[in-house]
Amino acid sequence: MTNERVFNFSAGPSVMPEEALLEAQKNLLNYKGSGMSVMEMSHRSPAFAEIFSSTQEKLRKALSVPDSHEILFLQGGATLQFAAIPMNLSSGGVTDYAVTGNFSNKAAKEAVKYCSVHIAASTAPEHNRIPKQEELNLSPDAAYFYYCANNTIYGTEWQYVPETKAPLVCDMSSDILSQPVDVSRFGMIYAGAQKNMAPAGLTVVIIDKTLAGKELPFTPQIMSYKTMIDSGSMLNTPPCWCIYMLGLTLDWLLANGGVTWMEQLKRERAKKVYDFLDNSSFYRAHALPDSRSDMNVTFRTGSAELDASFVKEAAQRGLVNLKGHKIAGGMRASLYNAMPMKGVDTLVEFMKEFERSHV
Ligand SMILES: *Cc1c(COP(=O)(O)O)cnc(C)c1O
């Protein structure tokens, strides 16, 4: 039990900006004189239409999304996109996948049902690095090249955008809005909202409109990008509350300097932890230095018992959810956009103390 907010290092759903939560709280019972909360509104009402379009505009601004690309607000999580992508974009042909962690592996396995999957690169089983451009074994006729920008479980992150002839399809679930991206280089970017943007239940898809409309005939309507573009993401009820919360997160981000501000901040946050890890012989970072994620820092002590004590004692200090994913073990500190610098400083302080008292 605590009466204070903790530092929440959860990999997802994750910490949200306090400013966004307070704004939501302020409007919870009566949104702008409507007499109701956003949760209770018709998705076709003028009040919600304004929330929807302004959130779309703010996202377009934050990521400098060009007019060639549509922004969709969908449901089903990132996981539904593992199937929607090959259904809509493969035409049943050859597709290239870079498998650099759990989620890209899952995406490739799902895609096998709908198209011919060629593994263009794999870092299994360690998944402690990102392949170099020269290592990508690209098919000459791939419908798209698929990769996951940040590997949430293993803590590695692509430091470059691959060069491919095929359109790039990228899962940015765990690093979207953490740095500028040249959206025009991508056929499609998508992200589950619950890491860096909003509560769980919303999936953002940013897609080059020319790629839509070639879905396989059995594609469910709700998974068709063309249908969703044509209906303005409102074929059915969209995740209204999550869209509203994304808008509030974007207000916070844009008011503070947008993704260039966030890029500086995320580098600074991650560097503090990695610098400490590199100077310690007690802890070991999982990812190789040139492949490290700024969003999910994975490390361990070398003893499963000590790792467990670390997680437990950290929680007693208000540093929660530091346990690594079960397939990777060890610890994982997720330093998403809304993680305050004080959380990082307190974590590093605790790591020092824990080392001192356990060597
Ligand atoms: C969390 C995560 C997913 C899975 O997201 P869901 O919304 O739970 O389906 C996929 N990819 C990445 C990179 C993730 O971090």
Report whether residue 171 contacts ligand 1, using a CB cutoff of 6 Å. Answer: yes
Question: Which among 47, 72, 65 has a CA at the least distance from the CA of 244?
Answer: 47
Residue found by looking up tokens 């690209």 in the block = 138
What is the per-residue pLDDT across 71-127, written as a single tens digit (0 to 9) for each? 999 999 999 999 999 999 999 999 999 999 999 999 999 999 999 999 999 999 999
Q: Is 142 exposed, middle or buried (0-12, 13-18, 19+ CB in 10 A)?
A: buried
Query: 28-45 as b/e, with b when 16 or more CB fall inside 10 Å?
Result: eeebeeeeeebeebebee
pLDDT beneath 70, residues of the chain? 1
pLDDT at 1: 67
User: pLDDT at position 4, please?
Assistant: 87
The answer to whether the predicted template modeling score (pTM) of the entire model surpasses 0.95 is: yes
CA distance 107 to 147: 9
pLDDT of residue 359: 80
Contact by Cβ (8 Å): 230, 221: no
What is the predicted pLDDT for the residue at 3?
78
Mutual angle of helices 341-358 and 258-278, in 10-degree steps? 10
Q: What is d(CA 241, CA 349) in angstroms, rounded to the nearest whole number?
A: 37
Q: Is ligand 1 within 6 A of the CB of residue 192?
A: yes
**What is 258-358's CATH topology?**
Aspartate Aminotransferase, domain 1 (3.90.1150)
Q: How far is the CA of 157 from the centre of ligand 1 (A)?
A: 14
| pLDDT for residue 2 | 74
CA distances from 68 to 209, 224, 230, 240, 329 (A): 6, 18, 15, 25, 42
Cβ atoms of residues 336 and 196 within 8 Å: yes
* CA 223 to each of CA 127, 160, 197, 243: distance values in angstroms, whole numbers, following the listed order: 30, 29, 22, 19
Ligand 1 atom with least separation from CA of 150: 13
Half-sphere exposure of 207 (CA within 13 A, CB side): 28
Q: Does any ligand 1 atom lie closer than 6 A to the CB of residue 77? A: yes
End-to-end CA distance of the chain: 30
Residue among 47, 4, 12 nearest 197 (CA): 12
β-pair type (203-208, 319-320): unpaired
Question: Residue 189 Cα, ligand 1 centroid: separation in angstroms?
Answer: 13
Nearest CA to ligand 1 atom 2: 173
Q: What are the residue boundaries of the structural domains of the chain, listed by start?
A: 21-255, 258-358
Per CATH, the architecture of 21-255 is what? 3-Layer(aba) Sandwich (3.40)
* Omega cis (within 30) before 66: no
pLDDT at 290: 97
Ligand 1 pocket member 102 (CB < 6 A): no
Model pLDDT, residue 253: 98
Q: Quote the pLDDT of residue 134.
A: 98
CA distance 98 to 62: 27
Interval between CA 317 and ligand 1 midpoint (Å)? 28
CA 85 / ligand 1 centre spacing (Å): 14
Ligand 1 in reach of 224 Cβ (< 6 A): no
Q: How far is the CA of 118 from the centre of ligand 1 (A)?
A: 22
Of 79, 146, 148, 157, the residue with max ligand 1 atoms within 8 A of its CB, to mutate for a pocket test, comes to: 79
Q: Are 118 and 145 in contact (CB under 8 A)?
A: no
Q: Ligand 1, residues 150, 169, 171, 173: which to mutate, most atoms within 8 A of Cβ?
A: 173
Q: How many whole angstroms separate alpha carbon 60 and alpha carbon 215?
A: 25
What span, in angstroms and rounded, lies between the C-alpha atoms of 65 and 61? Answer: 7
Find out whether 203 and 74 touch, Cβ atoms under 8 Å: yes
Q: Does the C-beta of 239 come closer than 6 Å to ligand 1?
A: no
78 lines ligand 1 (CB under 6 A): yes
Same CATH fold assignment for domains 21-255 and 258-358: no
Residue nearest to atom 14 of ligand 1 (CA): 173
Count of C-beta atoms within a 10 Å radius of residue 218: 7
